[in-house]
Structure 1
């Protein structure tokens, strides 16, 4: 098997601090990282969970401690009712540590700072009553716009990649196609152009707040709750459909640095991966095509990881790097060494 090139650390990594995560990743994966995340440590360990407190109790789903809506109709909430996201605060703090470690030679000079952000859609779909999500979307998007403004004003544009983590987008699409009946994942919005376009439009709205010289990336996800997907993908066709719709947008495609796509542990078959041949990496419009990272690495499964890589290499007409299926924030710490060792073993530095 020919080694693949490059490792993507999707985002969260168990660790006491960003410094610990930066140091661990840079040391364990020499010559393999084009960008490094801060690990989403502390209260960010559970993806969007820490954003729940940004919303008033009346807006939250009943299962998440919400209170009933009044019979008179939806409450009239304003921007002051939505707390700032604080993603910019942690990003700027972590970037300071990133720079210090790079000055010390621990992080290589060409490695950039990677910021993982959930889409506002994912946050609201996961936390809010559908009718409240629809009503509050402009307000929460405004909070996210403020977050992005602070990030791009305080970090050099050539030193950062902003990765959009799109999870509830995939489950919304699965629901829309009739393959996932859980109404929790029913899109809270209606769109005259269909669910897919409605989801893409939301990514475009926030991405246009990011200057064009800032690189972006996409982590497409089926969830990692209790280390299980919300619904198992039949194959990569729906992932490719969303990825292509994003890449075809003139404000997204030319500056997309990578696309990440999960590969379940039991899918070593070409039927799962064959739809990737339709991924339009070469038509994104940038000076270089976006990179593809496949989530083929699973803990304590080097043989299976190699098999998934071999299958992908036989199917795909273009190179790819490796990653895990999702972030590692909920991964038992004892499995992290295995994941890093396998990632190093199957890639060239």
Structure 2
């Protein structure tokens, strides 16, 4: 591959978009080791050491988060060559998943797919960040079903539904949880593997009932947990509790989390604030009468 001769770049980072060289045929495209399995093996050793020290309790799984093939190729390749490049990259990602599952005991392992660029496209709001090539809802779900196939049944599987986090900001803001409910129901119906959880974002300003109302339309197995990304450091525990109260009107049982992890484009002070909000809002209520 090479930078596109047109000079096209990715809008967020300025990274040049890639295309096939003139003498490369689609069937010739191959990717070698991507590095995910290598890094997961090394990180798992740190996880085991932390568990031995008692920093991580028994029963907690080692989570490996992976971008979907579409989430990589659609951000960094030109539209005309996407199909050829994505096929090869998907095969490489599947090899990485298989290697991760060989290297890490299944009882300890959780694999999470980060469903981001697909979510932006599925949402349907105007955007010019990702090309609309083979992006029907059915094609998106078929991709997810394929990349879940190599995950053994005793490895936990989860999904993070993402609206982007470049510079700690969404690419677009969800209007409500409706499109995410569509995605969750569709994935649950297409993926043979049991899905342990879905995680979805909640913008800081959205503590209104209308944002959460579509959650009443979820059609998931009882074993699939929902985690709502309603923890924000800026408005403290009070803001998180307002969002929790609104969500509870449409969803009886859910966990809490940040919108999109904690580390990207954050400072130590922001991390500390987020941890404090988690602690304040996830504590068990005191027994009655106290």
Shorter-chain TM-score above 0.5: yes
2:226 corresponds to which residue? Answer: 292
Q: Offset of 1:65 from its aligned partner? A: 2.4
Query: Which string of whole-angstrom CA distances, capped at 9 and with x for unpartnered residues, describes residues 24-57 of structure 1?
Result: xxxxxxxxxxxxxxxxxxxxxxxxxxxxxxxx32
Unaligned 5+ residue runs, structure 2? 10-14, 285-290
Q: Offset of 1:202 from its aligned partner? A: 0.5
2:8 corresponds to which residue? Answer: 62
On the 8 A contact 1:212/1:251 being kept in 2, the answer is no
2:206 corresponds to which residue? Answer: 267
Secondary structure at 1:296's aligned position in 2?
A: strand
1:320 corresponds to which residue? Answer: 254
Q: Offset of 1:243 from its aligned partner? A: 0.6
Unaligned 5+ residue runs, structure 1? 1-55, 283-287
How far apart are the structure 2 equivalents of 1:104 and 1:265?
36
Query: Which string of whole-angstrom CA distances, capped at 9 and with x for unpartnered residues, describes residues 247-269 of structure 1?
Result: 112513xx211110100010010
2:133 corresponds to which residue? Answer: 188
Q: Offset of 1:74 from its aligned partner? A: 7.6
Matched, 1:280 2:219: yes
Matched, 1:168 2:117: yes
Aligned Cα RMSD in Å? Answer: 2.1
Q: Offset of 1:227 from its aligned partner? A: 2.0
4+ runs of 1 displaced by more than 4 Å? 66-70, 77-81
On the 8 A contact 1:170/1:222 being kept in 2, the answer is yes
1:233 corresponds to which residue? Answer: 174
Q: Offset of 1:132 from its aligned partner? A: 1.6
1:331 corresponds to which residue? Answer: 266
Matched, 1:99 2:57: no
Q: Offset of 1:135 from its aligned partner? A: 1.2
How far apart are the structure 1 equivalents of 2:249 and 2:41?
42
1:46 corresponds to which residue? Answer: none
The worse-fitting range, judged by mean Cα deviation, of 76-85 and 291-300 is 76-85
How far apart are the structure 1 equivalents of 2:18 and 2:209?
48
How far apart are the structure 1 equivalents of 2:223 and 2:84?
38
Name which of 169, 173, 188 aligns with 1:247. Answer: 188
Bigger RCO of structures 1 and 2 (CA < 8 A, at least 6 apart): 1
On the 8 A contact 1:125/1:187 being kept in 2, the answer is no
